[in-house]
Structure 1
């Protein structure tokens, strides 16, 4: 089944389940109370924080828990409509799918959590704030978050092809930041039920909620700092290397798509993208006259440029978050048959992520115009990769790349980034063999 079909099926099923929950809840809840909670849910979703490219998290679970405790599960289900309202307000792409999915998953999660709470209350024979009831709402909180994240993991897996288990892990990785604030919801609900909460106390209770949000924002800003750090290195490479401007970004983009095609988990895809962006950072340590030479390299020059993977790994070795993928930088010119450079490592030392970037690096080099030859067509480049399967490239990576370039309608990069450096000379029409001889082993 195609990804789009899988995604649509998941959304339709979840939306139908949510509609059923809403159909049961709406007649049972006081309208204006439900609307008040809906507005609160809407605000928390507007203040949501990005967890990964296609997933955001918020503190709306606090609104749901307060609603369940203070006014019952039916009100909590109605409150969940604030989620899709916020999504409709914030997004422009795939709006219908996103709104339908969020309406369904929030309503189902609220209904299941509310049902869990009321069922446990009956089982324990307790009423809030008895210890049994506090335990019941704590369990209901875990149920709400688990159902919510399970549905999000399902839709991410359907959209990306990523295994459900890894999609779910990446979605819940910051869920622990929200756990301490369940206590705030319990306290707020207790005061509401006791009639002992006024505007000032309500404001004081809101302060820890904003502290909770600041933790999520700090997590997001850390990710953004990683991204800025990586891109500053890329800028340094491109200032020096006139002939490969844009190459790093294209290799990173395609590498992430190929990893996704192969079902690589999100966290590994993300790090692969960073390492692919930085795979040529070692060129900073290669003389400019070698980097920007408009033609084939002599033996001495080639020996100098062969060291850029080692130099790159040395530059990046103290950046902790890149440690799991440092081999991508170190080995991106190695081959399965051990004839690559600079280390000549064996096939066993080349992990899947290294093989992905090695394949994509060679593909982009072949399909990009350089000072010494014009770009090859996509089909020609894929054919050359297939010819080199087994001794240079992994067949799985080559076929995944072939599928990706068709899906993306990938086009060669025919504009030479530094045409002024040619000084009026004509760029020759090179062959794949020329490209491999000049760039020495598949990529740049």
Structure 2
């Protein structure tokens, strides 16, 4: 049924696009001008750059706003199709390619209608009415984005890939204002063009953007390589114990979910996720026999475990991470009441990232199988976190994390883990919550004595 509805929706969008293109062509009298702007949109479509950390856009979005001013909505509507040509090389299903090309037309037509309704000028008169031109450009960009988002949201909702509210919060909300900003850049292109430079204005505005995009690509490639190296290193560490495989990745995912809920800036969000991935990196120096030991640890083994945060900082000390990442790795086993390690910090003296990681680290440990117990349920684990507010964890962060998990859900350990050894009766844990003085979990995670 979904497939049928999807095909009908795409077909209606394509028919609407064809009608709008035909109507636009019938209203255009300068076809050479149309060809020129189509070529410009085509070229701009080959250049991608980051709009936000998780979203990209192409330069044709900048050019499109300029076309509204320079040539009007009719030419902009036809030219919008050519901005997608470069993306037809992507490996996506044909029906998605057709839709991605078609929905641009009604979105652009909506932008053109908004530009016209505010009485914005077209061509040379725009220089005599700059405020009206700016108003028209902003209105056109906003209308274009709203119709664009609505059509995409409709299709992915039909496909069942994501809830509309999630699409709005994850994709539309973070990009709406930046897109308005790039629309203003398109207005700058139009003013420079009309001011006497003509097509050369494209070089003046778009070439620096393309160079900035190239530089960002180099940075992103370096960052991706660095992240891949970190993940490979973590995977090597986690081969020491089948029960903890995938733990660091899940902690990174969990702290990322909480960080987005807390609306951290992009740079701090990235640092937090890196800290979550690397929080246990110091365990590379802990003997495997200790990590795998199902029974209570003796004093020397306990000392070896307690050293892993400091060893982790030593390992990443020469990597150009933010200091906040290092402090999170060092202090993620501190407790809110001051009974944790290595420094016995308490309350808000514990670094913010460390407080976040401590919660997610405990949550994933408890919802994963260990050699001495099966995994606990998500609801049971959330109840444990809430019970240990104020003692183990920052209460405000616990409340936020519980809200995130109850709203968004949690993908528990997906890696194959051996069944727990039922001959081991002790309900102790090396890393559930924080290590108690006796070498096992303390607080609610310790289970019945």
User: What is residue 8 of structure 1 aligned with on the other side?
Assistant: none
Provide the C-alpha distance between the structure 1 equivalents of 2:257 and 2:60, rounded to a whole number of angstroms. 32
Aligned positions of 1:149-228 closer than 5 A: 159=167, 161=169, 171=178, 186=192, 209=206, 212-228=209-225
Provide the C-alpha distance between the structure 2 equivalents of 1:191 and 1:338, rounded to a whole number of angstroms. 67
Residues 376 and 431 in structure 1, CA contact (< 8 A), matched pair in contact too: no
Deviation at 1:334, TM superposition (A): 1.4
Deviation at 1:143, TM superposition (A): 4.9
User: What is residue 6 of structure 2 aligned with on the other side?
Assistant: none
Any idea what the Cα deviations from partners look like across 1:99-123, whole Å, max 9, x if unmatched? Answer: 7986566556667679797279547
Residues 66 and 188 in structure 1, CA contact (< 8 A), matched pair in contact too: no
TM-score, normalising length: structure 1: 0.67
Deviation at 1:398, TM superposition (A): 3.3
Provide the C-alpha distance between the structure 2 equivalents of 1:324 and 1:110, rounded to a whole number of angstroms. 47
Aligned positions of 1:62-73 closer than 5 A: 63-64=63-64, 67-68=67-68, 71-73=71-73
Provide the C-alpha distance between the structure 2 equivalents of 1:35 and 1:252, rounded to a whole number of angstroms. 49
Unaligned runs of 5+ residues in structure 1 are 1-14, 127-132
* Structure 1 residue 248 corresponds to structure 2 residue 248: yes
Provide the C-alpha distance between the structure 2 equivalents of 1:379 and 1:45, rounded to a whole number of angstroms. 48
Aligned positions of 1:1-80 closer than 5 A: 26=24, 28-30=27-29, 32=31, 34=34, 37-38=37-38, 40-42=40-42, 44-52=44-52, 54-61=54-61, 63-64=63-64, 67-68=67-68, 71-80=71-80
Aligned residues: 401
- Cα RMSD after superposing both structures: 5.2
Q: Secondary structure at the match of 2:333?
A: coil
Residues 272 and 353 in structure 1, CA contact (< 8 A), matched pair in contact too: yes
Deviation at 1:222, TM superposition (A): 1.4
Provide the C-alpha distance between the structure 2 equivalents of 1:329 and 1:361, rounded to a whole number of angstroms. 12
Residues 363 and 381 in structure 1, CA contact (< 8 A), matched pair in contact too: yes
Any idea what the Cα deviations from partners look like across 1:365-387, whole Å, max 9, x if unmatched? Answer: 11222334332222222222122
Q: Secondary structure at the match of 1:356?
A: helix
Any idea what the Cα deviations from partners look like across 1:69-100, whole Å, max 9, x if unmatched? Answer: 65345423442344567778758599699779
User: What is residue 411 of structure 1 aligned with on the other side?
Assistant: 412
User: What is residue 238 of structure 1 aligned with on the other side?
Assistant: 235
Provide the C-alpha distance between the structure 2 equivalents of 1:316 and 1:324, rounded to a whole number of angstroms. 12
* Structure 1 residue 118 corresponds to structure 2 residue 128: no
Residues 62 and 186 in structure 2, CA contact (< 8 A), matched pair in contact too: no
Unaligned runs of 5+ residues in structure 2 are 1-12, 154-163
Moved more, 251-260 or 232-241: 232-241
Aligned positions of 1:42-441 closer than 5 A: 42=42, 44-52=44-52, 54-61=54-61, 63-64=63-64, 67-68=67-68, 71-83=71-83, 90=90, 118=121, 122=125, 125=128, 143=138, 147=142, 159=167, 161=169, 171=178, 186=192, 209=206, 212-241=209-238, 242-243=240-241, 244-350=244-350, 352-406=352-406, 407-408=408-409, 410-413=411-414, 415-416=416-417, 428=424, 431=427, 435-436=432-433, 440=441
Q: Secondary structure at the match of 2:45?
A: helix
Residues 160 and 260 in structure 1, CA contact (< 8 A), matched pair in contact too: no
Deviation at 1:328, TM superposition (A): 2.3
Provide the C-alpha distance between the structure 2 equivalents of 1:323 and 1:89, rounded to a whole number of angstroms. 41
Provide the C-alpha distance between the structure 2 equivalents of 1:105 and 1:162, rounded to a whole number of angstroms. 20
Residues 282 and 313 in structure 2, CA contact (< 8 A), matched pair in contact too: yes
Deviation at 1:388, TM superposition (A): 0.9
Deviation at 1:228, TM superposition (A): 2.5
